[in-house]
Amino acid sequence: EVVLTQSPDTLSLSPGARANLSCRASQPIDTTPLAWLQQKSGQAPRLLIYGASRRANGIPDRFSGSGSGTDFILTISRLEPEDFAVYYCQYHSTSPVFGGGTKVEIK
């Protein structure tokens, strides 16, 4: 079973900064079932990226996904106040598996 490891656990940045969040798979995976989700405090998760690099409907273009093999990155080009949240990567083989999450907090 694929295990997803996200790093760092917490990222402390200022509004306007660039954020790079890492998701590493325990073995090489196909990019098509790799997604990124955002979860704000007290809310349900929201899909940001699917297919490793495709933005979901209504997602601003400051969010981008990249990567292949075992290493995937979610980039937020310029952090807006509403972007401070927890981010999860998700992979689907026979069932979904989630990374442990990265919390992006205000520095």
Q: Point out which residues bind other proteins (CB under 8 A).
A: 32-33, 35, 37, 39, 44-47, 50-51, 54, 56, 88, 90, 92, 94-101
Q: Which residues contact 15 (CB under 8 A, 6 or more apart)?
A: 79, 80, 81, 106
> Nearer Cβ to other proteins, position 5 or 18?
5
Please, what is the minimum distance in Å from the beta carbon of residue 84 to other proteins? 17
Please, what is the minimum distance in Å from the beta carbon of residue 93 to other proteins? 9
Q: CA 100, CA 9: separation in Å to the nearest integer?
A: 8
Q: CA 71, CA 45: separation in Å to the nearest integer?
A: 22
> Nearer Cβ to other proteins, position 76 or 102?
102
Please, what is the minimum distance in Å from the beta carbon of residue 34 to other proteins? 8
Please, what is the minimum distance in Å from the beta carbon of residue 62 to other proteins? 19
Residue with tokens 């992006």: 104
> Nearer Cβ to other proteins, position 24 or 54?
54
> Nearer Cβ to other proteins, position 15 or 26?
26
Q: Do 51 and 67 meet the contact criterion of CB atoms below 8 Å apart? A: no
Q: Do 86 and 45 meet the contact criterion of CB atoms below 8 Å apart? A: no
